[in-house]
């Protein structure tokens, strides 16, 4: 049975949770937050149900990792902005055959825009010359350029920005944030991509997970620092105080971009989340705390770039039971039966210390 900690009496707590069940995600000021819509599950709701669920919970942005026309039809007229992905397996073809990129843009972008509000095209996800399938790295930039050229030919390059999503393992120096720098062995790969983004005036998309940094190094990184719950500044750097790891990681990326002549670029956090099960440091309480604090935090910027909301996408909409390893199955903020896994609200005064939705877990289809 799920556990949660409250300072109210047990009976009052249960009544309090039930009475607020209908207001799970309707948080004032959460306009900078979207949610990633992964589909690797055999028990997920229909696309129309998912889009309705997003709208009822005030998500006005989403990310699809590849085109899905049924999802596009559900998104028509919804006013939900979209990051649309070109999957990694198509990069080679797009790089070698510009006509393939043109056909893809016609089929999946021009045929649906503007009733589907495509905002970014993410060409590839976490492509790297040093991790995973390194053979794809040489194809990423030409694939991006050919997609951009197809979008520009339709005169939509000011409305739809073409970018790619990186992960933070490409940063070699991350501490302190002001010293952030990309690894020397990826500069030859990244610098031309950064140069293209500057030219195209497109943001860099970045997948930022404090969970993995904490799980790989819990000796030096405390759980409160990773979960936005540290009561005071943990790291001082050049007069800037860092009370959470998310800000430190994002500012480290900004510093790395500055060292690669990309200081003018905006960064969109295209994924961020915390798993509720499956490995060290996972629990419903930790995950609920992370998502809730993240939603509130990104409204205000970082110490390096204060006062500006950080466009951020929660990973992910649902637990996806066809993903591997086990950890990857537990990032959802909703169960597949559409019940919320957490109460992503921010209560003051310690009356509700965790936001795990125990009631919904008893109804889940997991």
Catalytic residue annotation: 126, 271
Mapping DSSP to helix (H, G, I), strand (E, B) and coil, where does residue 196 land? helix
Buried b / exposed e along 142-162 (16+ C-beta atoms within 10 A) = bbbbbbbebbeeeebbeebbb
Question: Using CA atoms, how far apart are residues 268 and 77, in angstroms rounded to an integer?
Answer: 24
Inter-CA distances, 169 with 10, 127, 245, 249, Å: 44, 11, 15, 11
Question: Using CA atoms, how far apart are residues 333 and 314, in angstroms rounded to an integer?
Answer: 8
Nearest to 208 by CA among 192, 191, 221, 226: 226
Chain centre to alpha carbon of residue 151: 24
Instruction: Take residue 191 and report the two structure tokens written for it.
Output: 């610098």
Nearest to 202 by CA among 167, 158, 141: 158
Question: Using CA atoms, how far apart are residues 124 and 136, in angstroms rounded to an integer?
Answer: 9
The answer to whether the CB of 211 falls within 8 A of the CB of 290 is yes
114 prior amide bond cis, ω within 30: yes
């Amino acid at each position: 049975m799920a556990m949660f900690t409250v300072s109210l009496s047990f009976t009052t707590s249960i009544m309090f949770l039930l009475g607020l069940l209908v207001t799970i995600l309707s948080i004032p000021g959460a306009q900078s937050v979207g949610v990633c819509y992964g589909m690797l599950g055999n028990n997920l709701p229909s696309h129309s149900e998912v889009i309705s669920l997003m709208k009822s919970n005030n998500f006005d942005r989403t990310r699809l990792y590849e085109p899905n026309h049924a999802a596009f039809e559900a998104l028509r007229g919804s006013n939900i902005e979209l990051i649309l992905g070109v999957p990694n397996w198509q990069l080679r073809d797009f790089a070698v055959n510009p006509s393939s990129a043109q056909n893809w843009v016609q089929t999946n972008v021009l045929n649906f825009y503007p009733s589907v509000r495509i905002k970014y095209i993410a060409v590839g996800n976490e492509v790297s010359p040093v991790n995973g399938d390194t053979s794809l790295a040489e194809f990423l930039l030409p694939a991006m350029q050919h997609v951009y050229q197809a979008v520009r030919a339709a005169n939509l390059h000011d409305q739809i920005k073409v970018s790619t999503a990186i992960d933070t393992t490409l940063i070699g120096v991350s501490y302190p944030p002001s010293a952030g720098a990309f690894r020397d062995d990826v500069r030859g790969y990244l610098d031309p991509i950064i140069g293209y983004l500057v030219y195209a005036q497109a943001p860099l998309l970045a997948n930022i997970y404090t969970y993995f940094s904490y799980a790989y190094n819990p000796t030096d990184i405390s759980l409160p620092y990773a979960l936005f719950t540290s009561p005071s500044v943990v790291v001082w750097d050049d007069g800037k105080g860092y009370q959470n790891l998310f800000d430190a990681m994002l500012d480290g990326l900004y510093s790395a971009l500055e060292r690669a002549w990309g200081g003018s670029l905006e960064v969109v956090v295209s994924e961020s989340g915390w798993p509720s099960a499956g490995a060290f440091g996972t629990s419903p309480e930790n995950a609920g705390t992370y998502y809730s604090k993240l939603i509130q935090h990104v409204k205000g910027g970082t110490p390096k770039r204060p006062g500006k909301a950080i466009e951020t996408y929660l990973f992910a909409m649902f637990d996806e039971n066809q993903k591997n390893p086990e950890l990857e199955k537990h990032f959802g903020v909703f169960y597949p039966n559409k019940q919320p896994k957490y109460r992503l609200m921010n209560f003051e005064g310690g009356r509700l210390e965790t936001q795990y939705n125990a009631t919904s877990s008893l109804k889940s289809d997991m």
